[in-house]
Amino acid sequence: MSRARMTDSPAYEAAQPILSVLIPFLRDDPAALLVRLDAEASALGGAVELVVLDDGTGDTALTAALTRQLREAGLPVRLITLTANEGRAQGRNWLATAARGRTWLFLDSDMRPDRPDFLKAWVALVQKHDPAVAFGGFSLLQAPTDAQFAVHRALATRSECLPVEVRRLNPEKYVYTSNLLVRRDVFESEAFDPGFTGWGWEDVEWAMRVSRAHPVQHVDIPATHMGLDTVESLIRKYEQSAGNFARVIARHPDIIATYPSYRAARYIRRLPGRGMLRGLARTWAQRDGLPVASRAFALRLYRAALYAEAV
């Protein structure tokens, strides 16, 4: 485990938070998110703290800027700066060890709340219902509309930015650690698996485990995912995620068998020319002049063809 430096805001030491907001980042600057959250400080009375983890960025200028920002923060904030990257799963476990609240909200640094009372709404939910796990939802309301992100926007709209009524139909499936509330005792019994490497599936696999013992609730407290990717970036992420997909299959064959991505991979596995299909789907997705919907379909097909090697 790498060395860690702790930097606290003036309000941190005296606060007695009931909710800890856990924000990991790597190279991304979380300053804009911190400003948005800090706007609620006066309405919260120390009930919410922020724990921010720099997972080995190694940018001294960014660290200095965040340190200056913390001096002016109204919210209780602790900044943890790691000397080396430890990965998504272990990073979130780091955050958990620093949290003082009984309930935690995992929030990625590229998220932006969609309502001015975002933290207040989460605190109200905790005080009224004390949920074991609750997901607030994704949107793209504030996300960039550049053409280079159009395919990712189409994919996210179809599979991630779903209304609460749809998410409740498959509670464990629509769980992402970018706007996720978890009670301390639940996380202590089921932490994120550090065996997941690269990108993808560690949050869904965690939710599969948790859902066997606790209800997974879905609520309407959304935040925008600002970090849309280009097609090339998505391709790289999908290529990293195949091994993680195989890990999920091994651990939860009963649940993953109901997922369309698994069924598509199983079908492609039986095709004699699946390698050619994978190449064609990738090429189609990369063609800028083609309709966005067809490129999004090709990218889903490419992912299924990658996963075919894992089923």
For 73, residues 6+ apart whose C-beta sits below 8 A from its C-beta are 9, 10, 11, 34, 38, 41
CB 302 within 8 A of CB 160: no
Return residue ranges of the chain for CATH 3.90.550.10.
4-228
Q: What is the pLDDT of residue 2?
A: 61
Q: Using one digit for the tens of pLDDT, what is the confidence trace for 189-206?
A: 988 887 887 788 988 899
Distance between CA atoms of residues 284 and 290, nearest Å: 8
The domain 4-228 having CATH identifier 3.90.550.10: the answer here is yes
Res 56: pLDDT: 87
**For residue 267, is pLDDT > 90?**
yes
pLDDT(53) > 80: yes
**What Rg do the C-alpha atoms of the chain give, in angstroms?**
20
Measured in whole angstroms, the distance separating CA 190 from the mean position of its chain's CA atoms is: 17
pTM: 0.90
Instruction: Tell me if 81 sits within 8 A of 4, measured CB to CB.
Output: yes
Which of the residue ranges 124-133, 196-205, 206-215, 294-303 would you say has the lowest mean pLDDT? 196-205
Nearest C-alpha neighbor of 111 from the set 197, 227, 8, 189 = 227
The amino acid at residue 252 is H
Q: Helix or strand or coil: residue 5?
A: strand
- How large is the greatest C-alpha to C-alpha distance in the chain, in angstroms? 65
What confidence tens digit (pLDDT) does each residue in 55-86 have? 888 889 999 999 999 999 999 999 999 988 87
- What pLDDT score was predicted for residue 200? 85
d(CA 134, CA 16): 22
Q: Is pLDDT above 70 for 182?
A: yes
